[in-house]
Structure 1
Amino acid sequence: MNVKILIPTSLQRYTNNQATLEYSVDTIDKLISSIETNFPEIKSHLTDDTGKLHRFLNFYLNNEDIRFLDNTKTKLKDGDEVSIISAIAGG
Protein backbone atom coordinates (compact mmCIF):
# COMPACT_ATOMS: atom_id res chain seq x y z
CA MET A 1 0.00 0.00 0.00
CA ASN A 2 1.54 3.32 -1.05
CA VAL A 3 0.56 6.66 0.40
CA LYS A 4 1.89 9.86 -1.14
CA ILE A 5 2.89 12.75 1.15
CA LEU A 6 3.25 16.31 -0.10
CA ILE A 7 5.86 18.24 1.89
CA PRO A 8 5.59 22.05 2.05
CA THR A 9 8.52 24.09 0.75
CA SER A 10 9.33 25.29 4.26
CA LEU A 11 10.02 21.69 5.41
CA GLN A 12 11.71 20.32 2.31
CA ARG A 13 15.18 21.24 3.62
CA TYR A 14 14.62 18.45 6.19
CA THR A 15 13.64 15.87 3.53
CA ASN A 16 16.70 16.32 1.30
CA ASN A 17 14.69 18.83 -0.77
CA GLN A 18 12.06 16.25 -1.66
CA ALA A 19 8.60 17.68 -2.22
CA THR A 20 6.94 14.26 -2.31
CA LEU A 21 7.51 11.14 -0.23
CA GLU A 22 5.86 7.72 -0.41
CA TYR A 23 5.33 5.22 2.40
CA SER A 24 3.46 1.99 2.96
CA VAL A 25 1.57 2.73 6.18
CA ASP A 26 -2.04 2.41 7.31
CA THR A 27 -2.54 5.39 9.66
CA ILE A 28 -1.48 9.03 9.90
CA ASP A 29 0.47 8.45 13.12
CA LYS A 30 2.51 5.66 11.46
CA LEU A 31 3.09 7.98 8.52
CA ILE A 32 4.45 10.71 10.80
CA SER A 33 6.62 8.18 12.62
CA SER A 34 8.04 6.94 9.31
CA ILE A 35 8.86 10.46 8.15
CA GLU A 36 10.53 11.27 11.48
CA THR A 37 12.53 8.02 11.38
CA ASN A 38 13.80 8.63 7.85
CA PHE A 39 14.38 12.36 8.36
CA PRO A 40 15.18 12.90 12.07
CA GLU A 41 15.77 16.64 11.67
CA ILE A 42 12.13 17.17 10.71
CA LYS A 43 10.79 15.76 13.99
CA SER A 44 10.79 19.01 15.97
CA HIS A 45 9.01 20.70 13.07
CA LEU A 46 6.15 18.17 12.92
CA THR A 47 5.53 17.27 16.56
CA ASP A 48 6.03 18.79 19.99
CA ASP A 49 7.83 17.21 22.96
CA THR A 50 4.76 15.11 23.77
CA GLY A 51 4.47 13.75 20.22
CA LYS A 52 1.40 15.79 19.29
CA LEU A 53 1.23 17.53 15.94
CA HIS A 54 2.21 21.18 16.03
CA ARG A 55 -0.87 23.35 15.92
CA PHE A 56 0.55 25.50 13.12
CA LEU A 57 0.59 22.53 10.75
CA ASN A 58 -2.49 21.13 9.07
CA PHE A 59 -2.65 17.63 7.64
CA TYR A 60 -5.11 16.85 4.87
CA LEU A 61 -6.06 13.41 3.63
CA ASN A 62 -7.34 13.68 0.07
CA ASN A 63 -8.33 17.33 0.74
CA GLU A 64 -10.04 16.58 4.08
CA ASP A 65 -8.61 18.00 7.30
CA ILE A 66 -7.65 15.08 9.54
CA ARG A 67 -8.94 17.03 12.58
CA PHE A 68 -12.44 16.35 11.24
CA LEU A 69 -11.68 12.70 10.60
CA ASP A 70 -9.90 10.59 13.22
CA ASN A 71 -6.92 12.94 13.64
CA THR A 72 -3.64 10.96 13.77
CA LYS A 73 -5.58 7.67 14.04
CA THR A 74 -7.08 8.30 10.59
CA LYS A 75 -6.82 5.18 8.44
CA LEU A 76 -5.01 5.29 5.11
CA LYS A 77 -5.43 3.17 2.02
CA ASP A 78 -3.46 2.58 -1.14
CA GLY A 79 -3.36 5.65 -3.36
CA ASP A 80 -4.22 8.17 -0.63
CA GLU A 81 -2.53 11.56 -0.68
CA VAL A 82 -1.59 13.40 2.50
CA SER A 83 -0.72 17.09 2.31
CA ILE A 84 1.09 18.94 5.07
CA ILE A 85 0.11 22.60 5.01
CA SER A 86 1.73 25.29 7.12
CA ALA A 87 -0.89 27.46 8.79
CA ILE A 88 -0.55 31.14 8.04
CA ALA A 89 -1.76 33.76 10.48
CA GLY A 90 -2.46 37.31 9.59
CA GLY A 91 -4.53 40.22 10.50
Structure 2
Amino acid sequence: MSVAVRIPTILRTYTGGQSEVTAEGATLAEVLDDLDAHHAGIKGRILDDGGKLRRFVNVYVGNDDVRFLDDLGTATPDGTQISVIPAVAGG
Protein backbone atom coordinates (compact mmCIF):
# COMPACT_ATOMS: atom_id res chain seq x y z
CA MET A 1 0.00 0.00 0.00
CA SER A 2 1.40 3.35 -1.01
CA VAL A 3 1.39 6.18 1.52
CA ALA A 4 2.73 9.73 1.60
CA VAL A 5 5.24 10.51 4.34
CA ARG A 6 5.77 14.15 5.35
CA ILE A 7 9.38 14.71 6.35
CA PRO A 8 10.40 17.45 8.82
CA THR A 9 13.13 19.86 7.79
CA ILE A 10 15.69 18.30 10.13
CA LEU A 11 15.40 14.90 8.37
CA ARG A 12 15.32 16.14 4.78
CA THR A 13 19.05 15.50 4.36
CA TYR A 14 18.04 11.83 4.14
CA THR A 15 15.47 12.49 1.41
CA GLY A 16 17.54 14.78 -0.78
CA GLY A 17 15.64 17.80 0.48
CA GLN A 18 12.19 16.42 -0.28
CA SER A 19 9.47 17.42 2.17
CA GLU A 20 7.25 14.50 1.18
CA VAL A 21 8.10 11.03 -0.11
CA THR A 22 6.12 7.89 -0.82
CA ALA A 23 6.59 4.55 0.87
CA GLU A 24 4.95 1.14 0.89
CA GLY A 25 3.60 -0.88 3.79
CA ALA A 26 0.46 -2.11 5.52
CA THR A 27 1.69 -0.98 8.95
CA LEU A 28 3.81 1.88 10.21
CA ALA A 29 6.69 -0.54 10.87
CA GLU A 30 6.61 -1.71 7.24
CA VAL A 31 6.44 1.87 5.99
CA LEU A 32 9.50 2.81 8.06
CA ASP A 33 11.39 -0.23 6.71
CA ASP A 34 10.54 0.77 3.13
CA LEU A 35 11.40 4.40 3.85
CA ASP A 36 14.81 3.36 5.18
CA ALA A 37 15.41 1.09 2.16
CA HIS A 38 15.08 4.14 -0.10
CA HIS A 39 16.50 6.77 2.26
CA ALA A 40 19.22 5.00 4.24
CA GLY A 41 19.57 6.08 7.85
CA ILE A 42 16.26 7.88 8.30
CA LYS A 43 14.69 5.09 10.34
CA GLY A 44 17.49 5.38 12.90
CA ARG A 45 16.48 8.99 13.50
CA ILE A 46 12.83 8.03 14.10
CA LEU A 47 13.35 4.86 16.16
CA ASP A 48 15.66 4.35 19.13
CA ASP A 49 18.14 1.48 19.56
CA GLY A 50 15.36 -0.66 21.03
CA GLY A 51 13.22 -0.25 17.91
CA LYS A 52 10.65 2.03 19.55
CA LEU A 53 9.66 5.55 18.52
CA ARG A 54 12.10 8.07 19.89
CA ARG A 55 10.72 10.00 22.82
CA PHE A 56 10.87 13.36 21.07
CA VAL A 57 9.50 12.26 17.69
CA ASN A 58 5.76 12.23 17.08
CA VAL A 59 4.29 10.23 14.23
CA TYR A 60 0.76 10.69 12.96
CA VAL A 61 -1.18 8.42 10.62
CA GLY A 62 -3.78 10.72 9.20
CA ASN A 63 -4.69 12.97 12.14
CA ASP A 64 -4.01 10.36 14.84
CA ASP A 65 -0.91 10.04 17.02
CA VAL A 66 0.26 6.43 16.67
CA ARG A 67 1.09 6.27 20.39
CA PHE A 68 -2.67 6.29 21.01
CA LEU A 69 -3.29 3.67 18.32
CA ASP A 70 -1.19 0.54 17.76
CA ASP A 71 2.19 2.28 17.77
CA LEU A 72 4.38 0.69 15.06
CA GLY A 73 1.58 -1.79 14.31
CA THR A 74 -0.78 1.01 13.28
CA ALA A 75 -2.43 0.26 9.94
CA THR A 76 -1.45 2.48 7.01
CA PRO A 77 -4.19 2.16 4.38
CA ASP A 78 -3.40 3.02 0.78
CA GLY A 79 -3.31 6.78 0.26
CA THR A 80 -2.83 7.62 3.93
CA GLN A 81 -0.64 10.56 4.89
CA ILE A 82 1.95 9.95 7.60
CA SER A 83 3.57 12.90 9.34
CA VAL A 84 6.84 12.73 11.24
CA ILE A 85 7.03 15.67 13.64
CA PRO A 86 9.87 16.41 16.03
CA ALA A 87 8.59 17.52 19.44
CA VAL A 88 9.28 21.12 20.34
CA ALA A 89 10.02 22.13 23.90
CA GLY A 90 10.00 25.61 25.25
CA GLY A 91 9.24 27.70 28.19
* TM-score above 0.5: yes
Please give the residue correspondences for 1:69-84 in structure 2 after superposition, counting only pairs within 5 Å. Answer: 69-84=69-84
Q: Partner residue of 1:19?
A: 19
Q: Amino acid of the residue matched to residue 43 of structure 1?
A: K
Q: d(CA) in 1 for partners of 2:37 and 2:44?
A: 12
Q: Greater shift after overlay, 5-14 or 41-50?
A: 41-50
| TM-score, normalization by structure 1 | 0.91
Return the offset for 1:55. Answer: 0.9
Q: Greater shift after overlay, 1-10 or 36-45?
A: 36-45
Gaps of 5+ in 2: none
Gaps of 5+ in 1: none
Q: d(CA) in 2 for partners of 1:70 and 1:61?
A: 11
After superposition, the C-alpha distances for 1:3-34 in whole angstroms (9 at most, x for unaligned) are 11000111101111111111221000011111
Q: Partner residue of 2:46?
A: 46
Let me know the Cα RMSD of the aligned residues. Answer: 1.2
Q: Amino acid of the residue matched to residue 16 of structure 2?
A: N
Say if 1:24 and 1:41 are closer, same or farther in 2 by CA, change over 3 A. closer
Q: d(CA) in 1 for partners of 2:46 and 2:58?
A: 10
Q: Partner residue of 1:34?
A: 34
Q: d(CA) in 1 for partners of 2:46 and 2:24?
A: 19
| TM-score, normalization by structure 2 | 0.91
Q: Partner residue of 2:60?
A: 60
Q: Partner residue of 1:8?
A: 8
Q: d(CA) in 2 for partners of 1:2 and 1:14?
A: 19
Identity of aligned residues (%): 40
